[in-house]
């Protein structure tokens, strides 16, 4: 009984770490947008896409109860994917502006964003490990009996790769 509870709490803690890391990325975006805006004001479409995607991400919050529901993680992941795509477009725009690329503020923000993306990856891996441990604990004997009679906890949903992620991108020079 106690180990199941501990494993579920580990899932919740790992999820909180994932959310905190994504929040860090959200917090960096306004500064990045303002920096790009100063150099590339006529790139309004890209700046608007980033701002809009950031707003959508801010509206998607999962409770601990939703971690076990099908599609909960997928909805969160979809919103984050849209934001990642918009950020990628923003960084491509930045490539067209040598003055922007030379800006120390922009370079600092870009490095912080890269570091945050790495932290997101680590947090997602830790979350998936906690989910795997929890899911195994409620399915193996004797915990499966304890769970079915007392707790009735459901499996938690791990992060999955985005559609098409298994296919390597083609790069041509």
Structural domains present in the chain: 2-151 (1.20.1440.20)
Q: 162 and 74 in contact (C-beta within 8 Å)?
A: no
Tell me the pTM.
0.77
Residue 57 · residue 32 · CB < 8 Å: no
- 110-119: average pLDDT: 92
- pLDDT-derived band at 170, boundaries 50, 70, 90: low
Contacts 24+ apart (CB under 8 A), 148-154: 150/1, 151/1, 151/4, 151/5, 153/4, 153/8, 153/68, 154/68
- How do residues 45-64 score in pLDDT, each as one tens digit? 888 888 888 888 888 877 87
Q: What pLDDT is attached to residue 171?
A: 40
Burial class, 69, CB count within 10 angstroms (exposed 0-12 / middle 13-18 / buried 19+): middle
Query: Which pLDDT belongs to residue 24?
Result: 93
């Amino acid at each position: 009984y106690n180990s199941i509870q501990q494993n579920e709490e580990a899932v919740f803690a790992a999820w909180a770490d994932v959310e905190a890391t994504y929040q860090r990325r959200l917090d960096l975006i306004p500064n990045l947008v303002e920096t790009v805006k100063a150099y590339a004001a006529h790139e309004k479409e890209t700046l608007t896409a980033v701002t809009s995607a950031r707003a959508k991400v801010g509206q998607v919050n999962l409770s601990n109860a939703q971690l076990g529901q099908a599609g909960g993680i997928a909805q969160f992941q979809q919103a984050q994917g849209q934001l990642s795509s918009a950020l990628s477009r923003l960084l491509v725009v930045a490539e067209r502006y040598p003055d922007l690329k030379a800006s120390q503020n922009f370079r600092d923000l870009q490095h912080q964003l890269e570091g945050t993306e790495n932290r997101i990856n680590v947090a997602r891996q830790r979350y998936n490990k906690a989910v795997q441990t929890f899911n195994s604990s409620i399915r193996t004997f004797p915990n499966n009996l304890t769970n079915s009679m007392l707790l009735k906890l459901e499996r938690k949903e791990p992060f999955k790769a985005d559609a098409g992620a298994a296919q390597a991108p083609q790069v041509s020079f």
